Structure 1
């Protein structure tokens, strides 16, 4: 590693950081993280903190998962790369595909198509949805529906179904044929409805209205996160996703579950869709599939689509999509080891228990600080605080103040993520009760600064 002075002098000077204004990064240099161990990270000055961001929702097993590191090293020594384009495969990706078929059996998903990450997975799923309808002779089904506040990556098609203007306006016009309905977000919604069950019904009615307006015969798919993540950790009412599934079925529309964040135990179950008893037609995965140790993702495909594609005799089912690193053997080896550890440790159970502890602690902080307008979570280790300058008007907190909360929380021992007025918490799924207390103690110190 270069010396500390070199790193600080060159910090943000020769790169642009994702999701940041270049000038902000220059004026407020990012924290330089140089080590990770367990659920803790260490910065260039030697400050050690609990990582309540979990890398970026993905380091479920922590930073010292030796079986995954060993699997990567062994695969690099044996076969560091080979293509999975038509005509070739590799042993690691064949083994992984069998494991994923077993893992997602309860979700009705039996085939995998490999990508390099979450945005890729969303792009492929949206493409496959259109292709499915074309194979079936319904080529008019080309439109997409999604939720406002939903996040589906940064590719142009994924950004087009994104429901947050922060990820859209700088790059518009985006893809035509993408339409959004209100999210089941009790704290802020156009209906001024605070009852989650009633709000779910209003959003579903808006969906039915949009389908009628667009024409069901023109719509390929509806895409949603089972629990909205980057939009502020918004869990829908339990009635919402099952009713969404029924509406899609009734109108011949595919349901895509974007589980890039929620799959592999984050929500306290193996997938977010299982919380609501729903089997999607397509599922987007990435992030925790390799614990963040290797860029890798997979689109999981339901048996209904499998039968249509594999029975095709016209050639329309040929998949004209793929990436140089689709099914990368090192990524596949990492995923095999990661999936093995994920199941061995039953991390979903710890996510459920520690998530309940964290959520209860956040509720206590809300009672203590007026700056906390809303607390969301209750499904594993996905939680958020929405900060406001006035509870009565719900006016969002200003950027300077939430920046101060973030900095004081970090100084007190915990790295958190700020997204708009939200402090988002997504720590590794292997954290302990003591780590949860550290997070709450740090947030207490940070909120007191506001």
Structure 2
């Protein structure tokens, strides 16, 4: 563990740093936990208190904090070639090898090319740009609009915020990108149709998509973007029929389907990707987070043969990619990703995510039986949410102070959880054990009792 002056850290905590997704005044009033070490799936804070990380960093530390092959790959690449640009005229060995490995990994999904980015928001921005460009290449230059789901989350760039379906990520930054429209998500616990049958809800949401396409004009829409399982919006798994229905509707209207797999790729749902879980082949797929286990900022957009053919067979200026980042295809990030892919395959983490996810979901459903404050429990693989309510009959969200208390009590009991709105979100590393699951459930029981 790296030595730190604990007094200095505590005195300066939240005094000079603004934190993502937080009010600066709140952070100053209630400084965040200062973490100084991690091993396996356990975090250590500046006070020496140890907690099981039931958040997995931020959905991304799938292999835990002690994945030495990834750390070694980073160190070796730093020694060999710490950086070079992938802009026209140069590339690096690790970038070439990673593009090959990803093409092999995803060829059964029809994804055959990569564009590398610095993270998830960059990947979403890239996919939106490529979608518009695809239609321009084909001479359909009115196709500029984007459709998405309410409660969907797609990062924080202006394009991603514009297709986001959560007001708290949008309102303070409006006006956003014009031409972005959201439809009802297949959110069984709260939906405008008051529908309680998941299959019927999937039909109603698909019909709403079709209706919006007709209203906007299919020939004005570039793409529909969705998370295969909605994450930051509260872990909302759709019925298995929903994404295939979306795929069929997009195909029929000439609209590209973008799968935002920033959270769901590489095993979190219990399948290698969320799209593969539902049996769908997207046109563009956004990835980041677990691609390097969170050890290095890196992302990718995987591109289908249909889109590739339009670009690579183009003889005009419309096919030139006028887009990229200083750190696109960063050689250290690519090396980390290569090592991470190898470990992910070797450990078969999707299988463990499915097994431990079923245990965690069952444990959380048992908590619902014991605690009136739990209104709903839902999940897929190692993506689980408990929605807390003040009244089950009205579904009124719980008071912010109460859910803050749940966070603190869980932390005291040795488990780090994430609070988002009135949801407790659990996304632990995919290498957790049954014992870890039991510890998470026990800590939540103790914390919910305090609520």
What TM-score comes out, normalization by structure 1 length? 0.99
CA-to-partner distance for each residue in 1:260-292, whole Å, 9 max, x for gaps? 000000100000001110000000000000000
Any residues of structure 2 matched to 1:135-146 within 5 Å, and which?
A: 135-146=137-148
Which residue in the other structure is 1:263 paired with? 265
Give the aligned partner of residue 66 of structure 1.
68
Which of 220, 240, 250 does residue 218 from structure 1 map onto? Answer: 220
C-alpha distance after superposition, 1:77-110 (max 9, x if no partner): 0000000001000000000000001111221100
The Cα of 1:202 is off from its aligned counterpart by 0.9
Partner of 1:197: 199
User: 1:194 & 1:21 partners in 2: Cα distance?
Assistant: 36
Is 1:183 matched with 2:185?
A: yes
Structure 1 residue 2 displacement after superposition? 3.0
Give the aligned partner of residue 431 of structure 2.
430
1:315 Cα deviation from its structure 2 partner = 2.2
Pairwise mapping of residues 7-406 of structure 1 onto structure 2 (< 5 A)?
7-377=9-379, 379-406=380-407
Distance in 2 between the 1:380 and 1:238 partners?
Answer: 14
| Alignment deviations for residues 279-313 of structure 1 (CA, whole Å, 9 cap, x no partner) | 00000000000000000000000011111110001
Question: What is residue 444 of structure 2 aligned with on the other side?
Answer: 443
Hey, what's the Cα distance between the residues in 2 that align with 1:347 and 1:420? 29
How many angstroms apart in 1 are the aligned matches of 2:273 and 2:332? 24
Q: CA RMSD in A?
A: 0.5
Q: Tell me how far apart the structure 1 counterparts of residues 351 and 195 of structure 2 sit (CA, whole Å).
A: 33
Partner SS for 1:137: coil
Equivalent residue number for residue 410 of structure 1: 411
CA deviation string 1:21-68 (max 9, x = no partner)? 001100111000100101110111111110000000000000010000
C-alpha distance in structure 1 between counterparts of 2:100 and 2:446, whole Å: 47
Deviation at 1:380, TM superposition (A): 1.0
The runs of 5 or more residues in structure 1 that have no matched partner are none
| Alignment deviations for residues 89-136 of structure 1 (CA, whole Å, 9 cap, x no partner) | 000000000000111122110000000000000000000000000000
**CA apart distance, 1:193:** 1.1
1:104 alignment partner, SS class = helix
State the TM-score, normalized to the length of structure 2.
0.99
**What SS does the aligned partner of 2:248 have?**
helix
Q: CA deviation at 1:413?
A: 0.9
SS in 2 for 1:56: helix
Equivalents in 2 of 1:295, 1:66: separation in Å? 17
Q: What is the DSSP-based 3-state SS (H/G/I as helix, E as strand, rest coil) of the residue aligned with 1:192?
A: coil
Question: What is the alpha-carbon distance in structure 1 between the residues aligned to residue 257 and residue 32 of structure 2?
Answer: 39
CA distance in 1, matches of 2:98, 2:89: 18
1:131-168 residue CA offsets vs partner (Å, 9 max, x unmatched): 00000010110000000000000000100000000000
Hey, what does 2:5 align to over in structure 1? 3
Runs of 4+ deviating beyond 3 Å: none
SS at match of 1:370: coil
SS of equivalent to 1:176: coil
Which segments of 5 or more consecutive residues in structure 2 lack a partner in the other structure? none
| 1:204-224 deviations in Å (ceiling 9; x for gaps) | 111111000000000000000
CA-to-partner distance for each residue in 1:312-352, whole Å, 9 max, x for gaps? Answer: 01121100000000000000000000000000000000000
Write the distance in 1 (CA, Å) between the matches of 2:283 and 2:160: 17
